Each structure stands twice: as structure tokens, then as C-alpha cells.
Amino acid sequence: AAGEPEPDAYAFEGDVVREIRILNKSLFDPSKPGENKRLFRWANRLHRTTRPHVIEQQILLEPGEAFSVEAMEESERILRSNQYLYEAEIRPVAAGEGQVDLEVETRDVWTLRGGVSFNRAGGENSYGFNIQDSNFLGLGKEVTLLRVSGIDRTSDVFRYRDPNLAGSRTRVELSYADNSDG
């Protein structure tokens, strides 16, 4: 079943993790039918894939530690919980007597979003626009810029979310708003 470890994974239980290799794929795979189109190739070139160290920070196993299927499965769950990853799979690979390498394969999703709104009611205009990237520069950080202007208030908002502050498991969210009414 999907999400279940390969039966072979249990054969590595207790072996020492020698190396972790990150294989991060682009948004679209040109080798797949229907994904080798000019627009998709352009999107792949424009998109900054998640940096390997961002993925490594979320893996519960490290080189020199004993391999555990449970830690591997939990690491996959952590990676899949990121909205900037479409898929994540960790495969143990034999690396010699009592050693195992881990191949971590991920695939990004498009994370840049934006919006514009305009409204006129009662002779007054209101508008808004925003831009948000939930994997800013491939760092796994979310940055949002927002401007909303209505009858009573104009607001400029900057928001920053970091799910792994300085490589830790600490989350932080900072928001700054400059409002015309204080």
C-alpha cells in the first residue's frame, strides 16, 4: 500500500546511516507524457526548487545514527506536511556491511500566488492586491505582501512564517501592518 515501507526497509533496522542524498525534482517531469510542454519547461526554469538543506533539516535521521523504519516513516510524514512539496519518499539503500544510505526524493509544487481585487460601491472605490510565496527562494519560508484600501482604511501588510527557525523545530510568524488609521 502507498505510504507503507518496502519490506526490505526492515532489513536495515539498526544499521548506521552513512549518507543522506536529496533528489529534489522540479515542478514538471519532461519525461512524462503531457509534461514536456513549453509552458511547463518555462515554469521549471522560473521556479526555485527547495534547497537540499531545508529538506535535510526535517529528516529525523542523521549520518552516524542507527537507521529506524519508524524515524524514516515519520520523516516522510513531516516532509509531506509541507505545502510546498507535492510528494516525498525516503528509500534506504545498502551501503556496505552494517551501513545504509538514504535517498530522499521530493517534488516541488508551484508556491507563488497573487491576487487583485477592485470594488466600487456608493461612489467609493476599494481595492486590494497581494503576493505570497510559501517557499520563498526555496528556503521553505512563507512571505506575504498585501495592500488593501477601503473606504475607512488603507493597510500595507508584511507577513513572514518560518516553520523551522534556524534549522530547529521552532515555528515563528511575524506580521507587520501599516494602517492609515493608526
C-alpha distances in Å from residue 126, one per residue of 145, 148, 179, 180: 17, 8, 15, 14
Instruction: List, in sequence order, every residue forming a beta bridge with 160; answer none if it has no partner.
Output: 143, 174
Residue 141's pLDDT is: 94
d(CA 90, CA 23): 10
Number of helical H runs and strand E runs in the chain: 3, 8
When mean pLDDT is compared over 2-16, 24-38, 128-142, 166-180, the highest value belongs to: 128-142
pLDDT tens-digit series, residues 70-127: 999 999 999 999 999 999 999 999 988 899 999 999 999 999 999 999 998 888 889 9
